[in-house]
Chain A
Amino acid sequence: MKRSKTAALLLMSTVPLLLSACDRSEGAAREGVYTSVETCVAQTNDRSTCQQAFDKAQKDAAATAPRFANREACEASYGKEQCAERNDGASHSFFGPLMTGFFLSQMLRNGSPMSGFNSSPAFRDSNGGWQQPAPGGAGVYRGGAGSAMVPINATADHAVTTSRSGFGTSGSSRGFGS
């Protein structure tokens, strides 16, 4: 079949719509970035998961960390003394940031963590922001070489707006889509 099995609307439809059986009530997750197994245990009370998550993150760190040709370029992004030389096993060496923490995510059911977890290494950039490797490019996106880094979410900032209406002045009676 070349068409979608369903084509649901959530808010656009005025007709009440039942989502399929696998709805999102179990979509809640507990996520955190921890700088050590101990801080993870203090937060989650689950030493076994914290240790496994740390071990997996450490194992993945070399492969998924961003790669730089030299130490200076790496330190420009991740700070002094935060980079190490690595080797990809095929005698190519490069520099990458040291893992400064790990990210742990567990799905929750009725407020309690389910078995299984996701973890990844976390790196701290020179501005103090936390990053993790982007999830692999499977499915609708074609895979790319190397890991792109993505921010681990922070809460929204506020800023006093000093001006509006700086976009949208080109004018069109019929919109801008094409």
Chain B
Amino acid sequence: MRRIALAERTDWRSKAAECGFGFHTIDDAPYWDESAYYAFSLREIEHDVEAPSEELHAMALDLLDGIVVDEQQLRQLAIPEPYWDWIAQSWRERQPHLYGRMDFAYDGSGPAKLYELNYDTPTSLYEAAFFQWQWLEDQLARGQLPAGSDQFNSIYESLVEAFGTIARRLPRPFHFAAVRDSAEDQGTIAYLRDCALQAGIDCGTLAIEDIGVSADGRFTDLDDRVIGSLFKLYPLEDMFREAFGAYLPRSGLLLIEPPWKALLSNKGILPLLWDAHRGHPNLLAAEFDDGGELPRGWVRKPLHSREGANVAMHLDDGRELHTAGPYGDGPCIRQACHPLTGFDGHYPLIGSWIVGDRACGIGIREDNSLITRDSARFVPHAIVEEARGVLIA
């Protein structure tokens, strides 16, 4: 795994404009960054990222049968009691899931270490599935990458296949919803809807704020149609505590991601995974936080923090890092500190995409600090043939 500088495509901004990529620059700061790329060997991808991703995904799902009937674990995961039966039912029915992203610390040496599961509202999907793919094709065509370079990225094909597979289980109408004013979230649901349309599913989009409720507790769209299925790019735990949350269990609405994802998109799953698979090479030691002093070599993360907010890191050398954020007062976990490796002062975090149950691609975000925040930039990657000079010699 190497970080290689490469000239940007001169026309990438106009391509982004043509392809609906409106959030390549966020709050005047660059987000899409193709001034460099990460090069992997095929073995690094298949052996160190793809295979562990599928294994960890299966391990996480295998915990669910136990969690849904374990009051203590449901409390540890801070799931509000009124939603327990609904979540358990959604798992027993295996209500369909679409996608998730695992974040790994990996630098090409040693096993990738799982930081967390983003299994409810993962973004950076469009840029990983589409714009990164287009970057590779363009740079290959221009001879800027070694001939035969590839990319770990069948995310698009997997999404279309997944939508096609679950289509018959989705009561209609089927809508995609995100907050109205987030260009990034709106771009993500526009892309997902595009993939669903390509799978032959008729579907629309809706601002999450526009969802209505009827007198008998069913959810409606702006035409007063009762929503059959809703993809919501909006955290389940926020829905639980908002005004309409109480209607969810009896509304008849099919949610994607389904309610059972609340158990996985929760940093509390990390200590549960560690307890079940202590010493697994891709897991970091983890435990529920007791609120005491954070010893050296540990990181404290809120159960529901997103984008690296409210993380405290106490490094082995005694340095302490903290990020601000809105999740300060909730329950936390502790995870063994395994800092990201710097590449020329950049700290890449590997986002490994799971569509359905298949590990099908990665997207890399790099920040200038050890904690990956919403300031991180998306940097493309390629699988590059290993040098064959030795064989020829």
Contacts and interface: CB of A to CB of B under 8 A. Distances in A.
Interface of A: 1-15, 24, 27, 134-135, 137, 139-142, 144, 148, 150-151, 153-154, 156-170, 172, 174-178
B93 to A, nearest CB: 6
B123 interface: yes
B255 to A, nearest CB: 12
Interface string B185-201: 10010110110011010
Contacts of A176: 121, 178-179, 182, 185, 233-235, 238, 306
Contacts of B296: none
B118 interface: yes
Contact of B197 (A10, A14, A164, A168): A10
B225 A141 contact: no
B171 A141 contact: no
Q: How many residues of B sit at the interface, in one of the four size bands?
A: 35 or more
B248 to A, nearest CB: 10
Interface string B86-98: 0000000110000
Contacts of B197: 10-11
Interface string B220-232: 1000111010001
A2 B178 contact: no
B171 A177 contact: no
Given A134-B168, A176-B233, A4 B157 contact: yes
Given A2-B151, A134-B169, A139-B161, A158 B156 contact: no
Contacts of B209: 164-165, 167-168
A9 B131 CA distance: 11
A142 B156 contact: no
Nearest to B162: A140
Interface string B152-184: 111111100110010011011100001110111
A12 B134 contact: no
A177 B121 contact: yes
B242 A167 contact: yes
Contacts of B79: none
Given A168-B208, A168-B234, A174 B224 contact: no
Classify the secondary structure of A's interface with B: loop
Interface in B215-273: 215-216, 218, 220, 224-226, 228, 232-235, 238-239, 242-245, 247
Contacts of A158: 224-226
Contact of A3 (B136, B216, B238): B136
A4 B185 CA distance: 23
Contact of A7 (B20, B129, B244): B129
Contacts of B198: 8, 10
Contacts of A13: 18-20
A120 B225 CA distance: 29
A178 B118 CA distance: 7
Contact of A163 (B155, B213, B326): B213
B72 to A, nearest CB: 26
Interface string B128-152: 0110011010000000000000111
Contact of B123 (A6, A161, A169, A178): A178
Given A164-B212, A174-B307, A153 B172 contact: yes
B220 A161 contact: yes
B358 interface: yes
Contacts of A3: 133, 136, 150-154, 361
B130 A7 contact: yes
A169 B211 contact: no
Interface string B7-34: 0000000000111100000110000000
A144 B122 CA distance: 25
B306 A178 contact: yes
Closest 8 pairs between A and B when the two form their complex, measured CB to CB: A177-B123, A175-B182, A166-B244, A140-B356, A161-B212, A12-B20, A159-B214, A175-B185
B168 A150 contact: yes
Contacts of A159: 214-216, 218, 220, 224, 226
B112 interface: no
Given A3-B136, A164-B211, A165-B209, A140 B358 contact: yes
Given A3-B153, A4-B154, A9 B19 contact: yes
A90 to B, nearest CB: 23
Nearest to A162: B215
B321 interface: no
Given A3-B151, A164-B211, A177-B178, 13 more contacts: A12-B19, A139-B356, A141-B165, A144-B94, A148-B94, A157-B218, A159-B220, A161-B213, A164-B210, A175-B182, A175-B185, A178-B118, A178-B121
Interface in B256-298: none
B20 A9 contact: yes
Nearest to B45: A2
8 contacts: A10-B194, A14-B19, A142-B357, A148-B93, A165-B210, A166-B244, A167-B239, A177-B306
Contacts of A15: 18-19
A167 B152 contact: no
A10 B197 CA distance: 8
B71 interface: no
B105 interface: no
B357 A7 contact: no
